[in-house]
Amino acid sequence: MNRLLLLIVMLVVSLQLAAQLPTDVYQYHIDLLNVADNKVQVTLVPPKNQLQTGKFIIPRMVPGYYDALNLGQHISAFQAFDQTGAQLPVHRVDTNSWSIKGLEHVGKISYQVSGGWDNLLQHTAGAKSAESIFKKDSLFILNYSSVTGYFEEIPDRGYEVTLKKNPGFYASSALQYTRQNDTTDKARAVDYRRLVDAPVMYCIPDTTWIQVGNTKVLVSFYSKEHRSYSKVLAARLQTILFNQQAYLGGQLPVDRYAFLIYQEQIPKGLLTDGLEHSNSTVCLYGSTALDKLPEALIGVASHEFFHILTPLNIHSREVQHFNFLDPVLSKHLWLYEGMTEYATIHMPIKEKMIGLQAFLGVIERKIKGMDGFDNKLSMTLMSTNAIRMQDQYLNFYQKGALVGLCLDIRLRELSHGQMGTQELMQKLIKKYGSEKAFKDEDLFRVITSLTFPEIRLFFKDYVEDGQPIPLKETLQKVGLDYDAAQQTVTATRNPSAKQLSLRKAWIDL
């Protein structure tokens, strides 16, 4: 070996060693290139620490899905090595956690991750959209909750993820991926929650970008059978996104958003599965053809996109410091899901996409949707117990949305038309934003101080105590008659000027 070559070899070796030294962040290497047996090889260099033992966690639960997913079930061949390469003792505590002795000396941890499912018709226990899938040489969807973890003793650290991938693959995600070379990408996240909150889809790109105000929206599509379809979907999504932008006052509180859409051919019917994140949505579709896809996507997208308001920019400490093993849930699902769904149904009338008759039909469907749920349950209690009360959970999209409607009209009434839920949400974003969490027990008091003293009673009666919401009297204020027996809502004949003026403030009609 000549000297120059020796020098180069030494340099390369020292660079490799340097790359493996612990820093302040979690350094992950994920190999999507050398997949064998549906398993992906993962290595981790944990942050520098002085811990004699550490508990490594892969989530049992993830935000937005109210049942145990036990994502640790996909992990195998878990090993830890010290900086000389000697193995450290590891004990698997349960499905989702491992205890490592001598963590202060750890140089590297390695394990394998199995893909969650092969096709949409396959039976799986949890939500497919929360799992990762590996289709060697064609597609990878990584939900980082099933691929990466964290040490209980070392929370709130940054993540640096290096991915090896096929040369033609492109990373679609709400996070920025920077290309190192043909087969290597890098991504960073400020903490575990933010990493898990931004899944990535790797495949040959079929992507279209839409500019909505100052937000770049990525529409990324994968189907084994169909190519170049993202532009068709993007064209359809564009209209609704522009209307959402107008509804939110012209400015969106995020720079980037991503729709990651997977389509699979199934024999008949339409199958959809989606999980929302703060800046992205994973949408899985099984269909015979593509023709029903745009409508189905718009239905999902209009709700999911509004999540950029809450929980992303308005959330409690329980959301900010989500415990992935044993979460304490926030009281405020009426806000995260109810107000999101209310904005979804309110926006089309406010932005003149639909007329009054169509809107009344939407309200009627929400009212009928409450049938079969317990109408006397406290919504704050349903929220903290969402895991145990799964049979009631879907009422946040029915009654929760109607709580939003009643709150909106009450606010318009008290403010002589000046303030509704649109303005309230903007005030809350200003006060909190993505980095500052509210205290769960403070929220009603804060909203009251931002609005009117009467609003505290509204929350007490209809959200905390779980009284049936005052639909009849509320709708009457805007010149609408609610027939509880028939579950119909019709425009009042000869409404007063007062009713009409409040209706105008509420829906601009």
- Kindly list the residues in this chain that would bind Zn ion in the complex (CB under 5 A): 337
Q: How far is the CB of 208 from Zn ion (least distance, A)?
A: 24
Q: How far is the CB of 301 from Zn ion (least distance, A)?
A: 11
Q: How far is the CB of 389 from Zn ion (least distance, A)?
A: 17
Phi, psi angles (nearest 5°) of residue 201: -115, 125
| DSSP 8-state code for residue 91 | E
Q: Which is nearer to Zn ion, 98 or 306 (CB)?
A: 306
| 339: nearest Cα among 365, 367, 360, 310 | 310
Q: Which is nearer to Zn ion, 318 or 337 (CB)?
A: 337
| 292: nearest Cα among 232, 247, 334 | 232
- Residue 355's Cβ-count burial label (10 Å; 0-12, 13-18, 19+) is exposed
Half-sphere exposure of 73 (CA within 13 A, CB side): 14
DSSP state letters, 362-385? HHHHHHHHTTTS-TTS-HHHHHHT
Q: How far is the CB of 404 from Zn ion (least distance, A)?
A: 13
Q: Which is nearer to Zn ion, 343 or 419 (CB)?
A: 343
Give me 197's structure tokens.
């909150």
- Residue 203's Cβ-count burial label (10 Å; 0-12, 13-18, 19+) is buried
Is the dihedral angle over the CA atoms 281, 284, 290, 294 positive or is it negative? negative
Q: How far is the CB of 130 from Zn ion (least distance, A)?
A: 14
Give me 186's structure tokens.
């890098």
Q: Which is nearer to Zn ion, 245 or 344 (CB)?
A: 344
Q: How far is the CB of 304 from Zn ion (least distance, A)?
A: 6
Contact 161, 194 (CB under 8 A): no
Q: Which is nearer to Zn ion, 337 or 413 (CB)?
A: 337
DSSP state letters, 286-319? EESSSTTHHHHHHHHHHHHHGGGTTTTTS-BHHH
Q: How far is the CB of 182 from Zn ion (least distance, A)?
A: 38
In this structure, the dihedral spanned by the alpha carbons of residues 331, 334, 340 and 344, taken in order and rounded to 10 degrees, is 170
Q: How far is the CB of 229 from Zn ion (least distance, A)?
A: 25
Whole-angstrom distance, CA of residue 416 vs CA of residue 74: 56
Q: How far is the CB of 305 from Zn ion (least distance, A)?
A: 10
Tokens 């549906």, residue located: 38
Give me 338's structure tokens.
């109810």
Strand duo 280-287 + 270-276: pairing: antiparallel
Q: How far is the CB of 455 from Zn ion (least distance, A)?
A: 23
Our CA angle for 376, 379, 384, nearest 5°, is 130
Whole-angstrom distance, CA of residue 141 vs CA of residue 199: 7
